[in-house]
A and B are shown apart, each in its own frame.
Chain A
Amino acid sequence: MLRTGTSAITGLVVGFYAPKNNGFFATMLAESLGNVFVPNAFLRVAPDNTVTVVSKHADAGQGIYTGLATIIAEELDADWSQVRVEPAPADRDLYKNLQFGGQGTGGSNSIVNSYEQYRRAGATARAMLVSAAADRWKVPSGEITVEKGVVRHAASGRQASFGKLAQAAASVPVPAQVTLKDPKNFTLIGAEHLPRLDSRDKTTGKAVFAIDVSLPELAIALVARPPLFGATVKTFDAAKTKAVPSVLDVVQISTGVAVIAKSFQAAQQGRTALRIEWDESKAEKRGTPEFLTEYRSLLGQPGAVARRDGDCAQAMARAARTLTATFEFPYLACAPMEPLSAVVRLSPNQCDIWTGDWDVSGVQDDAARITGLSTQQVHIHTLYGGGSFGRRGNGALEAIEVAKAIDGRFPVKLFWTRQDDMWGGQYRPMYLHKLDAALDEQGNLIAWQHRIVGQSILGKDPNWILDGIDVTSVAGASNIPYDIPNILVDLHSPVLGVQIERWRSVGNSHNAFAVETFMDDVAHAAGRDPYQFRRALLMKDPRDKPMKLVAPDRMKPSLFAKFPRDRRVLELATEKSGWGTPLPPGKGRGLAVHYSFRSSVAQVAEVTVGGDGAVKVDRVVCAVDCGVAINPDVIRAQMEGGIAFGLSAILHGAITLKDGKVEQSNFNDYRVLRMNEMPRVEVHIVGSLEPPTGIGESVVPPIGPAVSNAIFAATGKRVRTLPLSSNTPGGLY
């Protein structure tokens, strides 16, 4: 704890824990002596009038740097042109995710957990600048205004920039309390288009990703990993590898054998020359056909109950009509454009890591454990991540192991080739679903049964597994908001050797597809318009209904959208889409609404189905309620991009295995959406001043079912096996 020293420094850090370790905060404090105003760990104001915001979250494209900077600039009343941003160092006391405990980025909660914290940081700095001006001008603080980076006393006509007041503000005591703005007075938050802070660097090639880091003597490492999940190294012969010019060393690490060389090409040649005998005794040797057989059998057996309202069996027995459908979802790769990469420099007293990983505390802990250093000796330099979508959690692990194995003789950059990445697991699991519904004589939906079969992502973590339910497996299925008297959702979590991870929107990615596609079937069976049918089931707040839903207590407040957000976005999307107006033959319109990551999103897709069965998505109208929109243009970008990401999976995405081996290897056989397939996306954001909710993931779930329902509207054919291209080469037929 750093609460001593000169009065100036003491004043600056009150209320904030000083870091135990690193040079960063010390540097900031040193700078503060040099006239830089450092009111807290989240920003500083320099005499040159720049405001530098420190982002505790990693930016892999979602725009969080711009978002957090906007929040501080708003409460500070800064001018946007003076705002800069930089990543925080590893320090979980200062920069922890307030919902995770550790320092990390994920779960679409970056803005959610930082909103008030960053507002306070900005408001505190503003109060101290005002106080400094009041002292200097000998006027009451209450008469001072701040606008666009200028502190002003109207009566005396005096004014000063932040930069001019920085030195004086540094010695003002930190106020114990600050008043935050009334959101209706926001000028930067909610501004239609505030330029992104990373656009210039990413448009000129200057942005640095971990794969770009250059250091003296930097070596390149590639890892030979087992051909089957669960296989391990039995023995290896590196003689031929070591004969490759420019190969520096070959070391065994926990995941395989690493070849370290002076260049990528040499590392690649060295890796090819390796002779490794793998121990496959514990490896997963089954493939997709075997998994399908097992999963199909489980679909016929009751699983662990995730939600039970009323008595489905009894309702089914007295139904006028019942429907049933099964769905099959493949494994999916995250496939971010920058493959995993990290640079590690290890010395006897310090480990420096350059990475775009989101799990900063995890990387720091791993590095400390592997190197034997203290966490304080592990310095993490967070860089831009070249996409993540769930993949870039802790990609530095192998690089740390290699650095340790070579005793830090030279710094190491370890990265994965595209093929390494495609074969490397961390997939969205494969799932099978079976749904059953019952309608009464009047066409009312009286029972809904949903069975899910698929691996548990969170495994045995007791924080997330309750009564045999992995909450991520049933997210968006057990908490459907529809007003149905009898609901039963159950789950099988078979244990397989395939490595899985949280893929953008996690369980919602498959559950929303099954729920919203089947809901369309039910609406048609009831002879009702799919929009009107859903809307009628969203007239009551689901929280008012007695239900038995398995979920950890801490998740319960956010299991359902604030009423009536779901219905409101559904109404908005259908209204803006021209729902109900005629379309030419061969075209169809479909809708879906889904709540996840605390936000409600509805989408209406328009598709054209060609005579050959090829599906073209022409237009998507998207409505979102995410509370106050910090950066509307960034939200629009996330909606556009999330729709593209979802479409990649719906149209093309599948990782399949044969005898335990992954059959895809690169973008030629793991196809993703390209320019010519991109629909026109129109985004409508519900006006709101309520606290902000998640964006990055909540956009993905509705696009699949919206497209599937549009295909049904166009052709009368139902898609229940993904991707579309697996049905036939033409797409649908």
Chain B
Amino acid sequence: MSISLKLNNRTVKLDVPPDLPLLWAIREAAGLTGTKYGCGIAQCGACTVLLDGKPIRSCVTPVNSIAGKSVTTIEGASGVTARAVQSAWEKLDVVQCGYCQSGQIMSAIALLEQKPRPSDLDIDKAMSGNICRCGTYMRIRAAIHEAARIKEELNHAER
């Protein structure tokens, strides 16, 4: 069957089974591989994408439950918050193997959209669903604080 959704600001029609997890619709049908498979049961966060701006685990979200909604993947991450997060990630060289980082970044963008100046506790709450086996957590924490600062700068510059 054909399902229509907004993927990275473009309307796409995907010919997939209705119960197909969004992750596989994104990776196999739409061909966007930045979103990763890690566990298949919403335990690791590698598949995190934004659904109308909120982070969701695409590996357990059937496509037919989100018809018509707007999905943002790492490939479509844009805007001031995304730019701030990605430049902070690069500046602090957060990544190691990098496999979980798309999911980490999407969770971080969603956090900063909600809380422009998150505390360490806010970061723990928002990010504890995203596993990193390389253990980049310390740099992720620092990069989120740095991204908050960069975002303020960018907002200031654009005002």
Contact = CB atoms under 8 A, between A and B. Distances in A.
B138 A203 contact: no
A198 B96 CA distance: 8
Nearest to B31: A214
Nearest to B125: A676
B86 A203 contact: yes
Interface in B20-38: 20-21, 24, 27-28, 31-38
Interface in A631-658: 633-634, 637, 640-645, 648
Interface stretch (B50-58, B128-136, B151-159): B128-136
A672 B38 CA distance: 13
B39 A666 contact: yes
B148 interface: no
Contact of B137 (A385, A667, A668, A678): A678
A196 B98 CA distance: 12
Contacts of B139: 637, 640
A161 to B, nearest CB: 26
A204 B97 contact: no
A648 B73 CA distance: 29
A336 interface: yes
B134 A61 contact: yes
Nearest to A338: B99
A209 interface: yes
A15 interface: no
Contacts of B34: 204-206
Interface in B56-90: 73-75, 86, 89-90
A437 interface: no
B31 A387 contact: no
A418 B95 contact: no
A336 B123 CA distance: 23
B46 interface: yes
Interface string A366-393: 0000000000000000001111110000
Contact of A199 (B17, B35, B40, B95): B95
Contacts of B123: 675
Nearest to B104: A675
B135 A263 contact: no
Contacts of B90: 195, 199-200, 203
Nearest to B34: A205
A329 B46 CA distance: 29
Nearest to B130: A675
A641 B93 contact: no
A678 B131 CA distance: 11
Contact size range, B: 35 or more
A673 B137 contact: yes
Nearest to B97: A61
B41 interface: yes
Given A264-B24, A337-B46, A384-B98, A675 B128 contact: yes
A644 B137 contact: yes
A634 B92 CA distance: 11
A143 to B, nearest CB: 38
Nearest to A669: B43
Q: In terms of DSSP, what is the predominant structure of the interface of chain A?
A: loop
Contacts of B44: 337, 418, 667
A138 interface: no
Q: Which of A60, A203, A338, A645 has the most CB of B within 10 A?
A: A203
Given A337-B133, A676-B124, A209 B99 contact: yes
Contact of B133 (A63, A193, A204, A645): A645
A648 B137 CA distance: 13
Q: Which of A196, A205, A265, A678 has the most CB of B within 10 A?
A: A205
Given A193-B93, A667-B39, A637 B24 contact: no
Nearest to A673: B135
A290 interface: no
Contacts of A389: 133
Contact of B43 (A63, A214, A666, A675): A666
B107 to A, nearest CB: 10
Nearest to A640: B138
B135 A205 contact: no
Nearest to B38: A337
Contact of B134 (A203, A205, A641): A641
Nearest to A245: B17
B105 interface: yes
Contacts of B21: 265
Contacts of A205: 32-35, 73-75, 102
A208 B97 CA distance: 11
Given A637-B136, A675-B124, A337 B100 contact: yes
Contact of A385 (B32, B37, B41, B97): B97
A675 B33 contact: no
Interface string B88-122: 01100111111111100100000000000000000
A666 B41 contact: yes
B76 to A, nearest CB: 9
A243 interface: no
A338 B93 contact: no
B131 A672 contact: yes
Contacts of A644: 132, 134-135, 137-138
Q: Which of B28, B95, B101, B133 has the most CB of A within 10 A?
A: B133
Given A417-B40, A666-B39, A675-B124, A196 B24 contact: no
A642 B135 contact: yes
A195 B131 contact: no
Contacts of A211: 33, 36-37
12 contacts: A61-B96, A203-B90, A206-B34, A265-B24, A337-B46, A339-B38, A387-B97, A640-B138, A666-B40, A675-B124, A675-B127, A676-B125
Per CB-CB distance, the 6 closest pairs between chain A and chain B, nearest first, are: A205-B34, A644-B135, A61-B97, A202-B98, A386-B99, A205-B74
Interface of A: 60-63, 193, 195-196, 198-209, 211-212, 214, 263-265, 335-339, 384-389, 417-419, 633-634, 637, 640-645, 648, 666-668, 672-676, 678, 680-681
Given A203-B86, A337-B36, A678-B137, 14 more contacts: A61-B95, A199-B90, A199-B94, A212-B27, A214-B33, A337-B100, A339-B38, A386-B36, A387-B96, A389-B133, A418-B38, A418-B41, A640-B138, A672-B133
